[in-house]
Amino acid sequence: MGSLKSSVFLLILHLLEGTLSNSLIQLNNNGYEGIVIAIDPNVPEDEALIQQIKDMVTQASPYLFEATGKRFYFKNVAILIPENWKTKPDYVRPKLETYKNADVLVAEPNPSGNDKPYTEQVGACGEKGERIHFTPDFLAGKKLDQYGPQGRVFVHEWAHLRWGLFNEYNDDQKFYLSKGKREAVRCSAAITGSHAVRKCQGGSCIDKSCRIDKLTGMYEKDCEFIPQRQQTEKASIMFAQSINSVVEFCTEQNHNAEAPNLQNQKCNLRSTWEVIRESEDFKKTTPMTTQPPNPTFSLLQIGERIVCLVLDKSGSMSNDNRLNRMNQAGKLFLLQTVEQGSWVGMVMFDSVAYVQSELRQINSGTDRDALTRSLPTVSAGGTSICSGLRSAFTVIRKKYPTDGAEIVLLTDREDNSISSCFNEVKQSGAIIHTVALGLSAAKELEELSKMTGGLQMFASDQVQNNGLMDAFGALSSGNGALSQRSIQLESKGLTLQNNQWMNGTVIVDSTVGNDTLFLVTWTTQPPQILLWDPSGKIQNGFLVDALTKMAYLQVPGTAKVGTWKYSLQASSQTLTLTVTSRASSATLPPITVTSRVNQDTGKFPNPMRVYANIRQGASPILRASVTALIESANGKTVTLELLDNGAGADATKNDGVYSRYFTAYDANGRYSVKIWALGGINAARAIPQQNGAMYIPGWIENGEIKWNTPQPEISNNTLQDKQVCFSRTSSGGSFVASNVPSAPIPDLFPPCQIIDLKAEIQEGNLINLTWTAPGDDYDQGQAHKYIIRISTSILDLRDNFSVSVQVNTTDLIPKEANSEEVFVFEPENITFENGTDLFIAIQAVDKANLKSEISNIARVSLFIPPQQPSEDTSTPYPNTTTNSTICGIHILKIMWKWIGELQMTLAV
């Protein structure tokens, strides 16, 4: 078998095609433009922070330029300044820049004292990250000894964000055995240092040598690798950019493929430079021959929200009750979703446009009611989308520039002339959110959203799915304070017959409760509506709008915490229930659910990945029950349980991001995504995963260890004891599928890659493997069989998997996807001696003989305890590069042999 590198490269290109990203970053003539660095509104006003951001980027640019072989630099950056900071003449209104699409967020540490810079990453190797996080103290230079200069750290995080690189250190396993020798997890292996343990009690600390476990040969858990302050090795930035000599990324020549770190695990043992080299950025550039200019900065301050609804009233809107459904959703937006203080206008269009309302500031319920009365009541005429957009620009410009203003465009029809206003849209600086209603909405809507950074949504004519309500409910501000944002607690629908009941419950948790709205819609006659609060008291006072066929109750004050019960009764019609609320406190962050898919287009047979990110502030919520409902263009709905198990589509276990592959295509066209999330007794807050710059515990200077200030101690168990109970729904937007064949759909989906293989030695010369079962189609169903192979060379196993020694798996029957698999085997045809390493990988095969990618490679290392083990001293590691491959013997000709009672240690 040839090298797997080429197939992995093709897969990465596959996954990146049509990647869905809110970022405005563009690469133009080697320079990155459109970077948005946002200062969180909760950060106290400090003008020095703006200069510190500028200094960081200015320092980072030449470092990035040299580290990438003169290919990339930072060209311009927008700094987003909170609305609650003082205004200044040089602060201008943002255009497309929002908190939602910010690439970097500067926020107070959470938990307090945790200033670690990090990047949110939910995708695979080579896929762009979500967002970089810095704290004010980090930017102020108060963490230089722990993390190094701010500009260097920014480059480390940029590599996570832009190129999908991973860390080359491992906080959970700082050492491993290689050929019987203890090595620090580092890249390159030429980085020199020592190891020690610092024990502190009662304000005094002592340094000790690291003790060795007599059975495993490994250092004790608290042992730290302490690098020399002065080094000569130039790599690698993804290990420790804080080391003064480190100015490069690891290449094939100096990459430590054996080190058990995320870069090796997720990137198929490839060096960071190999991954960068395979990126679209690299392929679009050539090295520069001159030095790049310094970055330029624009200072943007958030202002009042400006929104104009642009609503289709053409003749086709009379079909399937669309006009009335649009009005119901419009009322939800005007009564609840749009924030107090916003300016809202309204335009409707058919063959021409009509101004229904000039911009009006929402200061009271009177303003909201007045705007709802402007919603169109009659459908007729053709469709001229550009007329509607141009009219909206006119409405906005009567009071404000269109820069940063938002337009919500809804239509159900094609319009051949829509592209005629694309240039005007681009020049306007407005953000356009599009809602495609029904199967025949203009195909260009997604292009309007994409070019302006707006949301793209799709609602079918299946009323019971409540898609139109979900779309308008998702239109909360991208810049407003989180405490003012409308949060959807429930969204359900049902078609009832013969006085049937639609019963259910809604959980109002302690983080929400202000401005709580229960909204019921129907299709023919008003239903019977019963609602009880958590104390069992029935709630009266629903306002009935018979014309629009909806009723709503605004709970006065703060809604009671607990389970609210509802019962709706009707016959021969469809009912929906939508419940929204706002944060109960300006200081207590509400639990939020944000969801999306990894691409805005899906081409069969490439799977989509669905994500739901559940947070309370910066803290992820674990062990929630999360379900995705994916509705296709023909009305079929697929239900997916999303998981946070670190397997299949889920990149990291227990990070609060729940994921799953979607493969159940049934038609070409638009698909909508909706998320239901439910807490309960098993859900809990947790410390966020922080995939970022390495904390350096100390430095060796002049032969002595100088320890840095220790990281704050945070009890994970204490946090996880705080159980939360909540309910949320969230729109994940939409995507467009193509190349879907006619039924029956062929099986072209292999099992997903196993990414969590672990190995350890049991007594009796047995190796115990554990992993999460893949499915027949990625992470759905049940695989047919497993192929397990072993080698004494990690690179040989990767590059020549098909001819490596195969393990007998006759009795290994795959379990259902996402089950825990355990397999114990006794290796054959391999001879171990003390200090030998064994590498193991798995491939899953489905019933159509489609094979998964090769799994991550697990390892076990043979360690025979000495007769009289001696205490280890803290001798520095030699300044040599460890050979990353094991002896190149032909393993098929070697017999398995065991010598006495052997002990091995795990190093994955």
Q: List, by residue number, the catalytic residues.
A: 157
In 407-531, which residue ranges form alpha helices assigned H by DSSP?
422-428, 445-452, 467-473
Q: Greatest CA span in the chain, whole angstroms? A: 93
Nearest to 185 by CA among 252, 259, 268, 254: 259
Give the CA distances from residue 602 to residues 7, 16, 20, 612, in Å, rounded to whole numbers and listed in that order. 20, 11, 11, 18
Neighbours of 874 (CB within 10 A): 17
Cα 208 to Cα 194, 224, 547, distances in angstroms: 12, 11, 79
> Taking Cα atoms as reference points, which of 484, 487, 506, 486 lies closest to residue 585?
484
Dihedral angle computed from the Cα positions of residues 353, 358, 361 and 367, in that order, rounded to the nearest 10 degrees: -90
**Buried b / exposed e across 602-640, counting CB within 10 Å, b at 16+?**
bebbbbbbbbbbbbbbbbbbbbbebbbbbbbbeeebbeb
Reduced to 3 states (helix: H, G, I; strand: E, B; else coil), residue 231 is coil
Round to whole Å and give the CA distance between 15 and 10.
9
Distance (Å) of CA 113 to CA 141, 233, 722: 14, 32, 20
CA atoms of 861 and 184, how far apart (whole Å) = 15
Give the whole-angstrom CA distance, residue 309 versus residue 475. 11
**8 A C-beta contact, residue 552 and residue 518:** yes
What does each C-alpha distance from 99 to 45, 127, 483 come to in angstroms? 17, 21, 14
The DSSP call for residue 337 is: I
Tokens, residue 804: 């490596």
CB distance 742 to 826 below 8 Å: no
User: In this structure, are residues 697 and 226 in contact, taking their beta carbons and an 8 Å threshold?
Assistant: yes
Q: Is 133 helix (H, G, I), strand (E, B) or coil?
A: strand
* Half-sphere exposure for 499 (CA within 13 Å, toward CB): 0
